[in-house]
Amino acid sequence: MLTRKQHELLTFIDAHLKATGFSPSFEEMKEALQLRSKSGIHRLISALEERGFLRRRHHRARALEVTRLPNEAGRELAVVAPAPFAPNVIRGDFSGRFPAVRAANEAAAVHLPLYGRIAAGLPIEALRDQGAQIEVPLALLGNGEHYALEVAGDSMVEAGILDGDTVVIRKGDVAENGQIIVALIDDAEVTLKRLRRRGNSVALEPANQRHEIRIFPADRVKVQGSLVALLRRY
């Protein structure tokens, strides 16, 4: 039998894992349970681990695994791992240096400006390869202005975004909490991360447990656009 706080924490961790693919931070757990210190979270996690509801993956940051859940009647339920993230990947023929995606039914397509590989140290406009474009099916796009970026690195692999992929971005300076965005930090560094607002701070979350979450004052981060589609070369 779990205490109320143990049950609340286990439920919160399970929901966060299913929604994001990685476990919440101790700060997030403390806020969710309205505790005053992280030491209370440590005690709850240890108790859940001893009872076989949680497992820690040692030597990995923020690595908690829910092994089972209690139901309302007190019986234990087996935990079924959530289905892996399935991004909107367009498979097709590619040619030349940059991928060009063509819809199988010859649907209408548009040409978007293709920026260089998204990397630290450069504002988004500096990445632009003048004249480079990519053809994208019109059905993938909604309202607004769009551009494409080549992805460098593995910080978003657990969201299905791999090194060398091309992402389609809707340009804009506003994004919802939890969206994957192109963020400009200190008017100098560009990165593709998940947006989390925390009071007067902004957290940029990777989708790879080997990478750390970066937290900044809100005035240091500008939204450059939000992810709408992913193109991949095979």
Tokens representing 185? 């930090």
The predicted-structure confidence for 142-177, as pLDDT tens digits, reads as follows 888 898 888 888 888 888 888 888 899 999 999 999
Number of domains in the chain: 2
What pLDDT was estimated at residue 203? 93
Q: Is 155 a catalytic residue?
A: yes
Q: Which residue has the higher pLDDT, 186 or 123?
A: 186
- Name the catalytic one among 38, 39, 46, 155: 155
Q: Say whether both 181 and 207 belong to one domain.
A: yes
Query: Does the pLDDT of residue 130 top 70, yes or no?
Result: no
Range of the domain at 123: 89-231
Query: Does the pLDDT of residue 73 top 60, yes or no?
Result: no
Report for 74-83, 113-122, 174-183: range of highest mean pLDDT? 174-183
Q: Say whether both 14 and 116 belong to one domain.
A: no
Which of the listed residues 54, 78, 102 is the one where a domain comes to its end?
78
- Name the catalytic one among 25, 37, 39, 193: 193
For residue 178, give every residue at least 6 positions away whose Cβ sits within 8 Å of its Cβ, in sequence order, or none: 194, 195, 196
What pLDDT was estimated at residue 1? 64
Q: CB of 85 within 8 A of CB of 162?
A: no
Query: Does the pLDDT of residue 96 top 60, yes or no?
Result: no
Q: CB of 34 within 8 A of CB of 23?
A: no
Query: Does the pLDDT of residue 234 top 70, yes or no?
Result: no
What pLDDT was estimated at residue 180? 93
CATH number, residue 48 = 1.10.10.10
What one-letter code names the amino acid at 216?
F
Q: Is 193 a catalytic residue?
A: yes
What pLDDT was estimated at residue 105? 39
Which of the listed residues 58, 78, 98 is the one where a domain comes to its end?
78
The predicted-structure confidence for 38-70, as pLDDT tens digits, reads as follows 788 888 888 888 888 888 765 555 678 888 887
Mean pLDDT of 80-95: 45
What pLDDT was estimated at residue 82? 41
| Helix boundaries (H) for 131-180 | none
Please give the mean pLDDT across all residues of the chain. 77
Q: CB of 6 within 8 A of CB of 47?
A: yes
